[in-house]
Structure 1
Amino acid sequence: MDRKEFLSAIGLSAASLAVITCIGCSKKGDSTSTSGTTGPTGVDFTLDLTTSANSALNANGGYLSSNGVLVARTTAGAYIAVQLSCTHENYPLVYQGSAGHFYCNNHGSAFTEAGVVLNSPANRNLTTYHTALTGTSLRVYA
């Protein structure tokens, strides 16, 4: 193999590697993609508040995530539920009970307890869900 053939073969290999790498970078399955930044549909599940997995909801200001939904108990004791992911880039939210809002640690977007955008970069409200407490069972539904 002469020098020209060698350089040509290396160039072809590098180009192939670049194409394969770019295909792997596709945002199709990326959890931070801006597509799919709405909450799940058809939500209808029940949380047993007596189990340790759901104990965070027994305290005002506590929260947990389940089925793509963030369920929280406000400092006033009401149960609220919104989509788990930020409408900006699909990162998981946290509930800051003392501040009374949902917050995205990634880019700093914040939302009211009613799911309304407080500050950017998010520009769409959160999907909200209904809650109904019966005894120690909390139903979350669309």
Structure 2
Amino acid sequence: MKNNQLQIERRSFLKNLGLGGAALMAIYCVGACKNVASVVPDVAQFNIDLTDSANVALTKNGGYIIKNDVVIARTMQGSYVAVTLICSHEQRKQVTFTSSNEFLCTAHQARFDTMGMGLNANGSKGLKTYPVMVMDSGKTLMIG
């Protein structure tokens, strides 16, 4: 009888643990999904004045600046591209533009092309991109 009672208690314990564990996992997953969704917000439209000395890096192919959590770069071919500063790998604000004409997260070496597509395993989720329009005879960029 004692052994049978121990099995029932053990079963009851494991059953309660399973339900509690599943509830904890559900809470964790819902919270995690909520956080990931809010990490890369939509960017309100903003302008970059290319005649401003703060933006001089954009006057040269391969140059980039960071504004409003957006990396704005001038590719080696001379076109402008914009992606989120927040890496999709681990949501770190460490995305830069390289002389290899790629975006790179310096935290874990996640690599992305100029269209935001991942180029390695850490970059496989890609980057959010933003439209860039050249205005005012090439003096202003409109991002977003």
TM-score (norm 2): 0.69
State the distance in 2 between where 1:122 and 1:132 align. 26
**CA 1:122 to 1:37, structure 2 compared with 1: closer, same or farther past 3 Å?**
farther
Q: 2:97 aligns with which of 95, 98, 104?
A: 95
CA contact (8 A) 1:39 1:126 kept: no
Task: Give the drift of 1:123.
Answer: 2.9
- In the TM superposition, structure 1's runs of 4+ consecutive aligned residues that sit over 4 Å from their partners are none
What is the letter of the counterpart of residue 102 of structure 1? F
CA contact (8 A) 1:83 1:127 kept: yes
Residue identity (%): 36
CA contact (8 A) 2:71 2:85 kept: yes
More helix by share: 2
State the distance in 2 between where 1:122 and 1:77 align. 24
Match of 1:47 in 2: 48
State the distance in 1 between where 2:130 and 2:76 align. 18
Task: Mark the runs of 5 or more structure 2 residues left unpaired by the alignment.
Answer: 1-34
Aligned residues: 107
What is the letter of the counterpart of residue 88 of structure 1? H
State the distance in 2 between where 1:42 and 1:71 align. 13
**CA 1:73 to 1:37, structure 2 compared with 1: closer, same or farther past 3 Å?**
farther
Q: How does 1:26-41 map to 2 (within 5 A)?
A: 35=36, 39-41=40-42
Match of 2:7 in 1: none
Max radius of gyration: which structure?
A: 2
Higher relative contact order structure (alpha carbons within 8 Å, sequence separation ≥ 6): 1
**CA 1:86 to 1:37, structure 2 compared with 1: closer, same or farther past 3 Å?**
farther
Q: How does 1:1-142 map to 2 (within 5 A)?
A: 35=36, 39-91=40-92, 92-96=94-98, 98-134=99-135, 135=137, 136-141=139-144
- What SS is found at the alignment partner of 1:46? strand
Task: Give the drift of 1:37.
Answer: 7.5
